[in-house]
Structure 1
């Protein structure tokens, strides 16, 4: 099999940059014939990709491009749209599943009977004031289409209207909008879900993982995820009933969103044992170093 690997990383660079890690699937399929295609950014990626598709040389395109809509330097959905335009086989998310909005996720949860935190997509100060009036504190403020814990800090959890205004203003000024949700006090879990090639209505949900936070931390923020993560660890969910529920709800959520390829569901479980679906991450990060939590 001849596979074209689509990524924004120069995987064959020696030495590899010290501040990054190679997300490289090639060692897992050593018998395949791989061709590396490093796509530069959103604007140039379709131009770089189209000749590779037109060559007809590849049996499969292995797509690891995962740039969000506001990341101009990282190719994302435009890669998928080009692959779909030509109807060639590729791995990962389809364009209609690639970056669902948080409101679309909440609607999918409602259709599937899955709990999700009450929230408001704030674009104006009036929206923030409405969140303070209608939602229950503590609240959590994040990017309206959050990814990679971008711009989350320990102060993203707010207890008062004044703190809410400060954090929402910070996120809105930088990103043009903020998602304000009721904070779920409890544990945090994650479930990897993959498409079932034999039955699209029954995706495969893997063993749920629970995070163990360092002392003084209760949720993943940007520094804890990417910088000071030595104290962060994870382990399989011990409670069998909870694990089964997390797998079931994650699989149903994936299906409700028209999931394709794979995705990671992030979930908070409150002190009564009720899971609240936070989000799904299509084309989530994979091939992390074994030393990472």
Structure 2
């Protein structure tokens, strides 16, 4: 099998060779302009699959990971990872999908203006104010956990000024665990769930201690 690995990092930062002893593979660091770089890297090379490790979801950035996905789709090249329909769902879309399948989700909403904060009356404090659609801890500070409407307004304004809007949701006091779930091509109703991992925060740095 011929594999092309696309990454926005240099191979010195991430060398996957230990996993590819049995494959004919090549590593490409994607650089702007993305379209020219990828076309030069993959066209006419007869790769069986592209292992896409590029990140970034800014729809306005033609060099983001989202742009890489859209380009691979337009070239009709098989690649790993989410397609453009699932690459960057909003938290509200994820909440709706989870609830439709009977899964609990932190109750919340997207706030684009100060008037949207009235929806917080239906939630239980403490709340947490987040980047509207980020991964990891982008934009989070100890003050992101709020106990009052006044604190909520302050943190909303901080996020809105920087990111355009904010996700406001009920704060869940507990452990933080992530689990990767992927489609089972033989049975789409029975997906694969990989081994969960737990985030271990440094002493004094857990969200549970932001009180």
TM-score, scaled relative to structure 1: 0.65
Structure 1 counterpart of 2:159:
171
Is there any run of 5+ residues in structure 1 with no aligned partner, and where?
13-21, 221-293
Structure 2 counterpart of 1:194:
182
2:79, 2:136 → 1: CA distance? 24
1:83, 1:6 → 2: CA distance? 11
**Which shows bigger deviation, 83-92 or 171-180?**
83-92
Residue in structure 2 matching 1:65, options 54, 57, 65: 54
Structure 2 counterpart of 1:36:
27
Deviation at 1:70, TM superposition (A): 6.3
Question: Structure 1 or 2: larger strand share?
Answer: 1
Give runs of aligned pairs for residues 75-154 of structure 1, distance below 5 A: 75-128=64-117, 130-154=118-142
**Which shows bigger deviation, 192-201 or 154-163?**
192-201
CA contact (8 A) 1:188 1:219 kept: no
Deviation at 1:96, TM superposition (A): 0.8
2:82, 2:50 → 1: CA distance? 12
1:118, 1:90 → 2: CA distance? 34
Structure 1 counterpart of 2:204:
216
Task: Look up the SS of the partner of 1:36 in the other structure.
Answer: strand
2:133, 2:4 → 1: CA distance? 29
CA contact (8 A) 2:8 2:29 kept: yes
Residue in structure 1 matching 2:194, options 168, 183, 206: 206
2:139, 2:59 → 1: CA distance? 13
Structure 2 counterpart of 1:229:
none
Structure 1 counterpart of 2:169:
181
CA RMSD after TM alignment:
2.2
Summarize the Cα distance change of 1:137–1:70 in structure 2 as closer, same or farther, 3 Å threshold. Answer: farther
Is there any run of 5+ residues in structure 2 with no aligned partner, and where?
none
Deviation at 1:162, TM superposition (A): 1.4
CA contact (8 A) 1:3 1:58 kept: yes
1:42-63 superposed Cα distances (whole Å, 9 cap, x missing partner): xx21222123343243222110
Structure with bigger RCO (C-alpha 8 Å, 6+ apart): 1
Summarize the Cα distance change of 1:208–1:36 in structure 2 as closer, same or farther, 3 Å threshold. Answer: closer
Q: Does 2:35 align with 1:46?
A: yes
CA contact (8 A) 1:171 1:178 kept: yes
Residue in structure 1 matching 2:14, options 23, 40, 44: 23
Deviation at 1:212, TM superposition (A): 4.2
CA contact (8 A) 1:121 1:180 kept: yes
Task: Look up the SS of the partner of 1:197 in the other structure.
Answer: coil
Give runs of aligned pairs for residues 243-262 of structure 1, distance below 5 A: none
